[in-house]
Structure 1
Amino acid sequence: MPSDPESLRDTALNIRSLRYLHEIELHGGVRAAADALSINASVISRQVGNLERLHGVALLERQGRRVTLTEIGRTLVEHFRESAQRDAEMLAQLEDYRGLRRGRIEIATGEGFVETLLASVLEAFSLQFPDIVVELRGAATSEIVAMVRNDEVDLGLCAGGISDPAIRARTFRAAPLCALVSPQHPLAGERRIRVEQLADHRLIFMPSRFGVQQYVDSLLRAERLNLTPAYRCDLFSSAQAIAAAGLGVAFMSTDAARQYLDAGKLVPIEIDHAIAREFGSQVIRRVGRRLSPAAEFLWTRLVKALQRRQG
């Protein structure tokens, strides 16, 4: 096998000759390929002949009045096409990296994730990609899944678990789903409660499109309870404020209510049920979507952050 640069250059495949072979197969002959390329047919014949002599193989054969490729000729054409595809993919990646100085990433996120998770991840991201605009769009779980599926956003971060063939999800155990009450609430002295104890209190629910409410509904179905809420609101902050005012029991993870808990305005109570303990969070992207390097970086950091929190 040749090892010196001169020998390698002499035996290297000539891209132009391979392209001419590709055009011959595509258009059904030397003359048709020449017409398509607006060059003289003798140019193509000469290049293909040089390739045949260099490697000692026949690349063309005549079948009646037609010139077709031999088996090795077709193999070389396939090699050319695969190489062209790889080159196109590499050029696309280079274009992505060239554009790192500008652009935007859109993330759909449920409430409670920005301060407790995204904030630390975004710090590293901003150092790596200081000129990329990050647009955060708050939504409920079902809405986040739809936005990711429809390519309205690059990534999604939400509560709950999904089963959608169009969605690639990494799911992690989150802080358990708990009941949240004001320090003056009758349940405030309890460390753990059973689901049926909730029937004696005014409850604060979210709309069913929220992942956290889907867990609450699952809890109630498992215990065969049909409870009517005193309040239903579509903002975690509203549910927290109502609970902090002593007007009802809200449901979410301690991560989502961190500010109210740290300020002593709410008290968390463990719900003694397997479903509450299995409360999860997930980061999602659409299957088959090629993310930009910046979005891929953020995906990787989000997955690692969720893994650390789980461990």
Structure 2
Amino acid sequence: MNHLRFLKYVDEVARVGSIRQAAERLHVAPSAVNRRILDLEDELGTPIFERLPRGMRLTAAGELFIRYIRSRSAELDEVRSQIEDLQGLRRGRVSLVASQALAPSFLPAVVANFRQAHPLAVHQVRIGDHLQALAALRAFEADLALVFNLAPEVDIEVVGEFEQPLVAVMHRSHPLAQRPSVRVRDCADYPLVLPNRDTGGRQLLERFLARSSLKLRPAIESNSFEFLRGCLYHGQAVSFQIAIGAVEDGGALVARPIEDRHFPQGRLVLATLRGRQLPVIAHAFAQHVLMALRGA
């Protein structure tokens, strides 16, 4: 399948924007990459790259052609997966974009359980927000997305969605940790360490505050959930996180439900690109994730 290897040259140049860098990543000579691009442009009758002083950029024709390449690559992965499935190997690659809140606990457990039945499967997990998830699905860089508050899109198929509440997270020694549930107003009396405004959990909090007279003034904001959780060990700080990402494991941090009436719920969405035939192993993993979420 040499022609597919040559198409890979084009795909790599499109990703890194440089013939030299693409050649280094592909372990071939830059002249070989350039020659194949010129051959393809001659065959198509139009340039697929603009040659710029500092690299290569796709033309409009190139954008169309790169989508064709990635679609073909995804279809080949599906065929390979089906062939291997017939042989009983159950090998293959599962690529996933997931929300940050799932990274510490839920997702590692789900992947580990899946690998017990499919030990030859390889997982490629990227942590990102809903915009990054959409881009990865559309570029055929991910089979699945598991993210919060994914807005409806014509070309995205929702495989399953699950409501998720926001919870307050704090150290076990915190005064509020002695209560079974808390109000947002209670948390405002302590230093607040909040995720950035582009995260799903923060957006739920802002929706509630928009209908309330309460004003929250965060002491710390960050796009790193790991950093925010670290802050909870100091100064009686309080944070907020989606419930599935704040599972208590007997450690130092605890989560408490928010008892305010009409506090909005979030949606955890499992999705894929509409019309795309998933590799067998990716489809099996999607079903496994759905079962885990139903039991969560």
CA deviation vs aligned residue, 1:134-165 (integer Å, no higher than 9, x gap): 11111233322332243221111123352222
Corresponding position: 1:294 with 2:281: yes
Corresponding position: 1:207 with 2:185: no
Match of 1:250 in 2: 239
| Deviation (angstroms), 1:114 | 4.4
Return closer, same or farther for 1:128/1:168 CA change in 2, 3 Å cut-off. Answer: same
| Deviation (angstroms), 1:108 | 0.9
Match of 1:221 in 2: 210
Return closer, same or farther for 1:166/1:273 CA change in 2, 3 Å cut-off. Answer: farther
Return closer, same or farther for 1:163/1:225 CA change in 2, 3 Å cut-off. Answer: farther
| Deviation (angstroms), 1:291 | 0.6
| Structure 1 alignment gaps of length 5 or more | 1-90
SS of match in other structure, 1:262: coil
SS of match in other structure, 2:142: coil
**Residues 56-135 of structure 1: matches in 2 within 5 Å?**
95-99=80-84, 103-114=92-103, 116-135=105-124
| Deviation (angstroms), 1:270 | 2.0
Match of 1:164 in 2: 153
How far apart in 2 are the matches of 1:171 and 1:116? 19
Return closer, same or farther for 1:168/1:93 CA change in 2, 3 Å cut-off. Answer: closer
**Residues 2-81 of structure 1: matches in 2 within 5 Å?**
none
Q: Is the 8 A contact 2:137 2:145 kept in 1?
A: yes
Q: What amino acid is the match of 1:219?
A: F
| Deviation (angstroms), 1:248 | 1.8
Return closer, same or farther for 1:275/1:239 CA change in 2, 3 Å cut-off. Answer: farther
How far apart in 1 are the matches of 2:111 and 2:132? 23
CA deviation vs aligned residue, 1:223-257 (integer Å, no higher than 9, x gap): 24442211111122211111122352110134323
Match of 2:252 in 1: 265
Q: Is the 8 A contact 1:143 1:209 kept in 2?
A: no
How far apart in 1 are the matches of 2:267 and 2:120? 32
Q: What amino acid is the match of 1:289?
A: R
SS of match in other structure, 1:202: coil
Corresponding position: 1:232 with 2:221: yes
Return closer, same or farther for 1:115/1:205 CA change in 2, 3 Å cut-off. Answer: closer
Corresponding position: 1:173 with 2:158: no
Q: What amino acid is the match of 2:260?
A: H
Match of 1:278 in 2: 265
**TM-score in terms of structure 2 length:** 0.63
Return closer, same or farther for 1:141/1:275 CA change in 2, 3 Å cut-off. Answer: farther
Judge which range, 137-146 or 228-237, deviates more: 137-146
Give RMSD over aligned pairs: 2.9
Q: What amino acid is the match of 1:154?
A: D
| Structure 2 alignment gaps of length 5 or more | 1-75
Q: 1:139 aligns with which of 113, 120, 128?
A: 128
Return closer, same or farther for 1:185/1:201 CA change in 2, 3 Å cut-off. Answer: same
Q: Is the 8 A contact 2:77 2:279 kept in 1?
A: no
SS of match in other structure, 1:193: coil
Q: Is the 8 A contact 2:208 2:264 kept in 1?
A: no
**TM-score in terms of structure 1 length:** 0.60
How far apart in 2 are the matches of 1:274 and 1:143? 32
| Deviation (angstroms), 1:115 | 5.4
Q: Is the 8 A contact 1:106 1:134 kept in 2?
A: yes
Larger Rg: 1
CA deviation vs aligned residue, 1:211-233 (integer Å, no higher than 9, x gap): 11111221211224442211111
Q: What amino acid is the match of 1:308?
A: G
| Deviation (angstroms), 1:113 | 2.4
CA deviation vs aligned residue, 1:51-74 (integer Å, no higher than 9, x gap): xxxxxxxxxxxxxxxxxxxxxxxx
**Residues 145-160 of structure 1: matches in 2 within 5 Å?**
145-160=134-149
SS of match in other structure, 2:187: helix
Return closer, same or farther for 1:154/1:224 CA change in 2, 3 Å cut-off. Answer: farther
Q: What amino acid is the match of 1:171?
A: E
Q: Is the 8 A contact 2:130 2:150 kept in 1?
A: no
